[in-house]
Structure 1
Amino acid sequence: MNSIGDLARSFVSQRHNTLMRQEMNVLTQEITTGEARDVARKAGNTAPELVAINSLLKISEAYASGAQQTGQFLSTVQTALEHLEAERSTVAVSLIAINANSTAQDVTLAADHAKAAFGSIVNTLNTQFSGQSLFAGTAQGAAFEDPATIIESAKLAISVAINPAGAIAALDAWFDDPAGFAAVYLGATGPHTTRKVDAGVEVTISARADDQGIKDMLKGALLGALAPELGFDHAGTASLMQSGGATLLDAGSGLAALRGQTGLAEERTSQSIAFLEAQRASLTIARNDIVSVDPFETATKLTDLQTRLEMHYTLTARLAGLTLSRFI
């Protein structure tokens, strides 16, 4: 009978120990997270409100994540447009400076500058951000064929011209020809890309490689790069290069418009991000009011439980060490 009592006492002791350790784990988790482990029990009558808050938080977080990505995308587009503007302005100046008194070396240097800038412009327009092209609209992949392919296609189209005016007309026709510019432009041609940055709030990404301002910039750079290769006399070559520079100057307004539209989209996205962050903060406070635990009360309970658990271990050890001889 005594052995049965010892086993029962041992079982009760182990069970009591397990319960205290489980309670300690719960209190430790609560003091670490600041939230009740049994959220449903803590919420009580406010459970429906908690469900609604959690749902709104998930929606807000999803929109905030998308808005952050859109903001980063637009910032990268703006940086690329700034690079395009720098290329446009410097090449325009070098081409405008060519005249009948320029040396052959001046012409060669200006043409080389225009060709290098054209390559840099195309490569910039082919930039991707997180696997999506900056300037191809809804299309996947690069916005253009490689620069050398574009130059060869344009050169073939204008090589039959007999004077600078004819070369300009031929290049204009190439940009409108389905077998010309449309064949080397790989991006979308439909409506511009839109991105949702909040419920009912969308931003339009207007910067696309088939925009007229960008096409004019490409046209001006092509004229400057190809002028010395068309077989015209010095005066004709200089005239064509100056036309290329003038075209680049005119392209500035179109590029400025794209930068302005992108800036407006960035501002609208930033406003949505700020609103979503404020909304998430407000919802988080409301949620914490329902599910949070009193840290002082929880710490007090944990300290008390630790004391009781230590006492339990001490008593268990003493009981385990009892012998008949000590008892007598």
Structure 2
Amino acid sequence: MRPEIGLARPLLGPNDITRDTRDRVDILSQEVASGRSSDLGRALRSDFSEVSRLTHQMAHLDAMKISLSRAETWGEGLQLSLAGVETSLADLAQGLATGLFSASTPGIVPDVAEGALRDIAAFLNGTANDRALFGNGAGDHPIQDIDAVLSDVRGLAAGAVDYETYAADVDAYFAPGGPFETTRLTIGANEPVVFPVGDGRTVSFEVDAGSSELIQAVKQAALAAGLDDRGFALAPGSTAAIDIQSRMLSATAALPDLRGRIGAVEERVSDMASSLDDRRSETEIALGETIGIDRFEAASALQNEMARLESLYAITARRAQLRLTDYL
């Protein structure tokens, strides 16, 4: 053998006889892992109509799932805020029971009431994704200036000649169309947030800061908070004290019903989400069957290709050893 020929052959390099087999191994490995054919045209015989329909349905179901998830988050936010309002009223009721019927703690009622009023306003200003939960999804908080509300009510207390007048003035202040609704309450949208759930259906939570139950909660806390500036006497255990306590109990008792109505919507959303998961699973199975493969057949083919690849590597190794002798 002439030396120049032996020297030239390594420079040209051998053909990679394993490339096609390695590519086939990669394809089969992906198919075995996914259970789907890598060549949809071959698997579907170029009829993509069913795959298109199922894929579109999957996208539609995924969009519905996102909307339902947002509805679940919204409902949870409402419930957490209402639980806070309920707790604030319960704490206030306990403070009233101590302060209104004891001569030794005259200042406890307005102090506790002011704290409860501020807490209630904070809960009603709660947001989800920067949208006001009790403002029908608007960007502004429904109660933007609780200090102004407190100042208004204290002014009513200072100008009243007796408790009856004060209570009537507070009722008028918080009545529909009254100063609180027209100057202190901001509901940024007229309609509640609507969550589409497919098939032309929607769900919504019919509650905002202007709901009667929440107006009552704010009103009764404000009425008690304004007593610090009253211009009239308020004797422990008096008829006025009993009326304040009765009002507070009435406001507290209204909240569970409101939370129950929201809970009913949450249950509907949960049922829809569960049904949606079932539909998505069925669609995913149908799509898998349409573009799926026989895993056993694919695994057998993969095993054969792996054996072939090992043989080719062995051949390549022997050729490399033979080529080494060309230099010797």
Contact 2:163–2:240 (Cα < 8 Å) also in 1: yes
2:244 aligned with 1:244: yes
Give the Cα–Cα distance (whole angstroms) in 1 for the partners of residues 261 and 154 of structure 2.
33
Greater mean alpha carbon deviation, residues 126-135 or residues 152-161: 152-161
Output the amino acid matched with 1:205: F
Unpaired segments ≥5 residues, structure 1: none
Deviation, 1:187, is 2.5
* Compared CA separation, residues 102 and 189, structure 1 to 2 (3 A): farther
Unpaired segments ≥5 residues, structure 2: none
1:257-296 matches, cutoff 5 A: 257-296=257-296
Counterpart of 1:116? 115
> How many aligned positions are there?
321
Contact 1:76–1:129 (Cα < 8 Å) also in 2: yes
Output the amino acid matched with 2:108: L
Output the amino acid matched with 2:266: E
Output the amino acid matched with 1:312: L
Deviation, 1:54, is 0.7
> Helix, strand or coil: the match of 2:107?
helix
Give the Cα–Cα distance (whole angstroms) in 2 for the partners of residues 36 and 323 of structure 1.
40
Contact 2:154–2:228 (Cα < 8 Å) also in 1: no
2:237 aligned with 1:230: no
Output the amino acid matched with 1:42: A
Contact 2:137–2:188 (Cα < 8 Å) also in 1: yes
User: CA-atom RMSD, angstroms?
Assistant: 3.0
> Helix, strand or coil: the match of 2:208?
coil
Which whole-Å deviations, capped at 9, do the CAs of 1:189-209 have from their partners, x for residues lacking one? 623332223323222212211
Contact 1:144–1:186 (Cα < 8 Å) also in 2: yes
> Helix, strand or coil: the match of 1:196?
strand
2:137 aligned with 1:138: yes
Q: Given the two structures, how large is their TM-score scaled by the length of structure 1? A: 0.86
* Compared CA separation, residues 148 and 233, structure 1 to 2 (3 A): same
Counterpart of 1:42? 43
Give the Cα–Cα distance (whole angstroms) in 2 for the partners of residues 119 and 248 of structure 1.
16
> Helix, strand or coil: the match of 2:45?
helix
Q: Given the two structures, how large is their TM-score scaled by the length of structure 2? A: 0.86
Give the Cα–Cα distance (whole angstroms) in 1 for the partners of residues 323 and 158 of structure 2.
112
2:294 aligned with 1:299: no
Deviation, 1:66, is 1.2
Identity over the aligned pairs, expressed in percent? 22
1:102-113 matches, cutoff 5 A: 102-105=102-105, 107-113=106-112
Greater mean alpha carbon deviation, residues 294-303 or residues 227-236: 227-236
Contact 1:154–1:180 (Cα < 8 Å) also in 2: no
Counterpart of 1:220? 220
Structure with greater helix share of residues: 1
Counterpart of 1:91? 92
Give the Cα–Cα distance (whole angstroms) in 2 for the partners of residues 241 and 49 of structure 1.
73
